[in-house]
Structure 1
Amino acid sequence: MGDNHDSPLTAADLAAEVAATYGTEAFLSADYAAAEKERLWPRVWQMAGRLEDIPEVGDFLTYDICDDSIIIVRTGPETIKAFHNVCSHRGRQLVDTPATSNGVRGKARNFICAFHGWTYNLDGQCTYILDQDDWHGALDPSCTALSPVRVDTWGGFIYVDMRPEGESLEEFLGDAGRILKHFELDKMRYKWRQWVIYPANWKTSLEAFMEPYHTTTTHNQLTAYAEFYAYSKAYGLHSVSGFDQRKQAENTAQGGSVSRAGKGDDPRVSTYELARENYTTINYSASTDTLIAAAARLKDELPETATVGEVMAHWMKSAKADDAARGVVWPEIPPAVMAEAGLAWSLFPNQNILQGVTFALCYRARPYGNDPDTCIFEAYALERYPEGEEPQTEWVYAEPTQENWGLVLAQDFANMRWVHKGMKSRGFRGALPNPHQEQKIINMHRNLAEFMGRGAPVVLRGTDEPTG
């Protein structure tokens, strides 16, 4: 293979699945990490939490990204606001956010600075200043109110944008939002949520969950139940991946969704075996108890002659009825949308969603302090529950072990730190991502380069010339 790779990668190149490469600066450089503070994070919508984190008026949460801390507070039954977490007097944070916590949640009638007592109401207006007369009338709301941050919601998620103006969240999400809205993620609630301070760059860690290409090797135990050949496709800033039927028989995929039949002579059995294996080894996420129970009955409820299509249809119909009986209503998703939705989405810059009709498995990674070799990594499961039966959850710090995260996620953790370390080798010439199955990652770096003004992926051109 030659080394002629100096042409910038274009959107047309992505669509044509042209091979590309990029270097390691975005992962390893302290200067690059410092530049992200100015060129990336303050210039993009980013997910900061879930509406269920602040259900009542006065409930607030904090979101920290690099040196910025943001308070998001519910100001009314249908309204939320966001402010920079800093007193306008001398700059003290209003809410302390120690590095040992994954954000702070609480309830407040107002926010009081612990330094001099300046006080702010939930709308960010300064309502008390100690000895205000000493300023001889120089202070007014324009300089004493908290600095606002744009905030909006989608799918039950809360997003913030530190730019005073820019595209709307709907515009930012584009086709990704259009497609995923059908899954009604806003009607799901946390099943569990865990985080860890992990020894790898935030991009290294996030990319481990952006493609199924690694499944055959990293999660090789799963290949006994299904094939995992995948596709990925760019949607502007965002990207989708799914199981590719071009190399698979009908029985290995169902409209690109998470729930699918397994490989084997009897689809009644293989469907259950695949669903059970995924569920129990991915920390009881990426499916539900209802779906697993319905799959377990397939052998008893269908004849041996049942086709893959009949098995899938019966499984979904049975599970849907079981859920309806307990008060869980499935969304009606058009088949064309289900096919386009694929398996999982990467929302730029740092949110991954593996979506199902009644569940979702989500990941987020972000910088930890100023160290490009460390990140905050989070994973959480969402699920539909009967009203009033949602579990009460909190963020749990969990070391990256199988006991804490399940077999599959532990296998991913076992790669991430060594990928990051390996990129520091003088022998590593740059990434060679699969242009069909890892296009999500290529697209991420192409978009990242647009914000950063550096490090863009370039076309990789090989040569058939013999080597001497």
Structure 2
Amino acid sequence: MNKPEKIVAEDLSEAVTYPPEAFISREYAEAEPDKLWSKVWQQAGRVEELKAVGDYITYNICHDSILIVRDTPETLKAYHNVCTHRGRRLVGNNTGGGPKTVAQDKGAHSARGSQMKFGCNYHAWTFDLAGDAIYIPDKEDWQGALDNVCTSLTPVQVDTWGGWIWINMDLDAGPLREWLEPVASLIDPFEFEKMRYRFRYWGIFDCNWKVALEAFLEPYHVQGTHPQLIKYGDFYSFSKAFGFHGQTGFDSKAHRDAGTAVETSVHRAAGDGDPRTTIAQMQAEYWETIGASTSETLVKTAQRLPLELPEGTPAGEVHQYWMKIAKEADAARGVTWPDLSDAQVAAAGLALSIFPNVNFIPGPTFSLAYRVRPWGTDPDKCIFEAVALDRFGEGEEPETEWTFVEQDLDKWPYVIAQDISNMVEMQRGYKSRGFKGNLPNPWQERKVTNLHRGLAHFMGTGHLKRID
């Protein structure tokens, strides 16, 4: 283990560096399941995927597969998806643990279905929703040696927040809410639990999962990666560490202590131009090139701003009027907004990350979320997922499935494709003899730096070092 040479300040204000081993070392990747993934709370699905008793999904991480079931109308249970007899997986599909190997796999991304018991296709051992072995052929052959402890499915912690299902393989880990703070309190006012999937895309990329995740942890890359957005104004940002988690928001180079929704959020009034037109144009571009980070209602009502407000209207008033008419338009179609104050929207900022592998962009009726996972323990591959959530009128929620999208820049939404364009070249560059170590921006990329500080905490290597 390489111990840190010097203590790094809690706020990560110094210029620091860290080595590339977390991205390219096979030894590091093979240690992650034991040292990291088995210890942390992980987002595993949405509550609405498990509507009825017996509904189940799987969540796969490295070589582990977790079976999550609705065991009662009010509760969920989670187990390691493995028969206690001889180790066969109970529910098919091992995406996340390596390439598919046999045709019995039930799904490309994960398994999903509904059944009141789970039988092993090898020797017919059968388990109920409580994880108990309810049928063992010729059980008497064990002459009383089998008990409920050794035959029951191995439990996994499961809890919910924001409409998401979270699991933790460490039964001694602390509560989910404690793990999520203070990010949970910042996001709670947006009521993620009342949102539903609008789309969910996934792909297998030729880079380490951290390379893919970091592409969405900071806006510092906008000038180089998304130059078409610069016309809407400065994308200068702040970046903060919240324990293991992090936050970004739009900033000024004066580093203001506080801002408003019109300044810091994803639906801000950007730039120094006429806010009526910059809001309208930027919202349209988001919808056309990302398909998320906004809503159809926000896009359509933004186009009304140049027509309904006089030239010279201050940005704050434009933004306030826009939110008002968008809220009214949504109400007319049966969509209720959360009771959000300007201070709450501003406090959430642009994006919030949950260690180790999730990033949320919150909005009044939407969220864009990215989750990235290892592909088995291959340091050069990962599973990348982009999910859009929206609020819908009652009965208007679409039925969605995981849609596989190849690592092809023409297949992904344009802005996401621009981010993907860096990933393979980053992975290659980290292996160069000429790369001396990462030099993250001390103000705008603290979220990235904090990710690696958290990884070093769990992995015992890759510590941050101050640049002198």
1:455 maps to which residue? 462
1-side partners of 2:94 and 2:370: how far apart? 22
1:271 aligns with 2:267: no
1:444 aligns with 2:442: no
2-side partners of 1:102 and 1:241: how far apart? 30
- Give deviations 1:53-111, integer Å, cap 9, x for gaps: 21221110111111111100011111100000111111111011143522111111100
AA matched with 2:279: T
- Give deviations 1:198-224, integer Å, cap 9, x for gaps: 000000110011000000110000111
1:87 maps to which residue? 83
- Please give the residue correspondences for 1:69-468 in structure 2 after superposition, counting only pairs within 5 Å: 69-99=65-95, 101-246=108-253, 254-263=262-271, 265-282=273-290, 284-461=291-468
Q: Give the match's secondary structure for 2:370.
A: strand
1:226/1:252 contact within 8 Å kept: no
2:103 maps to which residue? none
2-side partners of 1:9 and 1:340: how far apart? 29
What's the Cα RMSD here?
A: 1.8
1:251/1:262 contact within 8 Å kept: no
AA matched with 2:172: E
AA matched with 1:278: Y
Q: Give the match's secondary structure for 2:262.
A: coil
2-side partners of 1:11 and 1:341: how far apart? 24
AA matched with 1:8: K
2-side partners of 1:372 and 1:450: how far apart? 19
Q: Give the match's secondary structure for 2:22.
A: helix
Flag the 1:24–1:39 CA change in 2: closer, same or farther, 3 A.
Answer: same
Shift of residue 165 of structure 1? 1.4
Shift of residue 264 of structure 1? 5.0
2-side partners of 1:451 and 1:34: how far apart? 14
Flag the 1:246–1:103 CA change in 2: closer, same or farther, 3 A.
Answer: same
AA matched with 1:82: A
Shift of residue 370 of structure 1? 2.2
2-side partners of 1:262 and 1:450: how far apart? 37
1:49 aligns with 2:53: no
2-side partners of 1:72 and 1:219: how far apart? 39
TM-score by length of 1: 0.94
Flag the 1:215–1:318 CA change in 2: closer, same or farther, 3 A.
Answer: same
Flag the 1:369–1:386 CA change in 2: closer, same or farther, 3 A.
Answer: same
- Give deviations 1:173-201, integer Å, cap 9, x for gaps: 11011111111111111110111110000
1:251/1:308 contact within 8 Å kept: no
Q: Give the match's secondary structure for 1:76.
A: coil
- Could you tell me the percent identity over the aligned residues? 50
1-side partners of 2:197 and 2:247: how far apart? 23
2-side partners of 1:324 and 1:224: how far apart? 33
Shift of residue 414 of structure 1? 0.6
1-side partners of 2:282 and 2:382: how far apart? 32
AA matched with 2:39: R
Flag the 1:278–1:147 CA change in 2: closer, same or farther, 3 A.
Answer: same
Shift of residue 403 of structure 1? 3.9
1:245/1:253 contact within 8 Å kept: no
1-side partners of 2:55 and 2:430: how far apart? 43
1:327/1:387 contact within 8 Å kept: yes
2:26/2:378 contact within 8 Å kept: yes
Shift of residue 400 of structure 1? 3.1
2-side partners of 1:265 and 1:179: how far apart? 30
1:465 maps to which residue? none
Shift of residue 424 of structure 1? 0.5
1:286/1:354 contact within 8 Å kept: yes
2-side partners of 1:138 and 1:200: how far apart? 47
2-side partners of 1:327 and 1:456: how far apart? 51
AA matched with 1:333: L
Q: Give the match's secondary structure for 2:264.
A: coil
User: Can you give the 5+ residue segments of structure 2 that lack an aligned partner in the other structure?
Assistant: 101-107
2-side partners of 1:305 and 1:127: how far apart? 73
Shift of residue 6 of structure 1? 6.4
2:22/2:462 contact within 8 Å kept: yes
Flag the 1:81–1:6 CA change in 2: closer, same or farther, 3 A.
Answer: closer
Shift of residue 13 of structure 1? 5.0
- Give deviations 1:214-273, integer Å, cap 9, x for gaps: 001100001112210011000001000010034599999615211111335422111100
TM-score by length of 2: 0.94
Flag the 1:265–1:171 CA change in 2: closer, same or farther, 3 A.
Answer: closer
AA matched with 1:41: W
User: Can you give the 5+ residue segments of structure 1 that lack an aligned partner in the other structure?
Assistant: 462-468
AA matched with 1:242: G
Shifted more, 57-66 versus 260-269: the winner is 260-269
Q: Give the match's secondary structure for 2:10.
A: helix
1:8 maps to which residue? 6
2:38/2:170 contact within 8 Å kept: yes
2:58 maps to which residue? 62
2-side partners of 1:233 and 1:342: how far apart? 10
Shift of residue 305 of structure 1? 3.1
Shift of residue 337 of structure 1? 2.5
1-side partners of 2:237 and 2:137: how far apart? 62
AA matched with 1:55: K
1:19 aligns with 2:26: no
